[in-house]
Amino acid sequence: MRIVAHAKINWVLDITGERDDGYHLMDMLMQPITLADTVRLTDADAISLTISGNPDLPCDASNLAWRAAELLQPYADRPRGVDIVLEKVIPSGAGLGGGSTDAAAVLLGLNHLWGLSLPMETLEKLALSLGADVPFFLSSGLCRVQGIGEDVRPLSRGPKWPLVIIQPCSGLSTKEIFTAYAASDQAIHPDIDSMEQILLSEDLSILPIHPGNVLEQVSCAARSEIGQAAGFLVRNGAICAQMSGSGSAVFGVFENSRAADAAAVAAKERWEKVFVCTTCDEALQMHG
């Protein structure tokens, strides 16, 4: 079985509070993009994991894809294993959900491959135990995501907007960025309700230059290249540009593919990791 596992962008990311257990309460607008990994699943006697495209990622039980398979084993009517092959394209430590989408792909794929017939509600609960972004990837289109990631509300399938994504520096630790945010007292909270209406209107001309990511300030303090890349995209024709997730990738939205291609050519003269893609509907696409 082959699953195309798409990355995501955060149009808006806000933190609205913190639970007693330390988990942050989020309010986000998220959408899948065509930048994607490929996940291949083959029945086996035990779980194994092979990764191409990123030699720095672990191929053991610390990987979210492996953990996703382990979570489904108790639901099988007999001992089951799987050979997982990840063909990585989505950069790690980028805020694009690469590990989360791979994990969601394993959950969805094994539910079919092993004939488990688990309802989506069960898969979503298992997904949440793997990480706040994982449930989103079991949904589709533009979504508003709240709570600790468990409240996913699809809003629209939306148009296909051209994007240029740059990872201008080394990856960032989500945990370290949230710790830095908690220690900061200068957070700028975005107007997420207004941004939701703008995106639903599908009018690119009224997009703000920076839609709003409450973590961007602390991430830029850790990696000044993030702000530099966002500024570069705006100067090269992006209607808006900002960091996705907790970084370190930034995305720029363009009026058409020609403008995006031109900006990407210019960006590649300065940065190695530059991707041209579009927003899309489906986070996961299963084949065979």
Q: Taking a C-beta distance cutoff of 8 angstroms, is the pair 3, 286 a contact? A: yes
Residue with tokens 């092959």: 85
Distance CA 270, CA 238 (A): 17
Using DSSP, state whether 66 is helix, strand or coil: helix
Among 20, 45, 133, 281, the active-site one is 133
Angle (nearest 5°) at CA 73 between 67 and 79: 135
Give the chain's largest Cα–Cα span. Answer: 58
Residue 77 is among the residues annotated as catalytic for this protein: no
H or E stretch including 92?
none
Q: Which residues 6+ apart lie within 8 Å of 159 measured at CB?
A: 202, 279
Sole residue written with tokens 């108790």? 74
Residue of 8, 14, 27, 102 marked active site: 8
Peptide bond into 140 cis (omega under 30): no
**Residue for token digits 């220690």?**
183
107 backbone dihedrals φ, ψ, rounded to 5°? -60, -50
Q: Do 155 and 32 form a contact (C-beta atoms < 8 A)?
A: no
Helices 225-235 and 257-268, interaxial angle, to 10°? 140
> 206, 198 in Cβ contact below 8 A?
yes
Q: Determine the Cα–Cα distance for residues 121 and 31; give it in Å rounded to an integer.
A: 20
Helices (H) and strands (E) in the chain, counts: 8, 11
To the query of whether residue 175 is one of the catalytic residues in this protein, the response is no
Q: What positions carry a catalytic annotation?
A: 8, 133
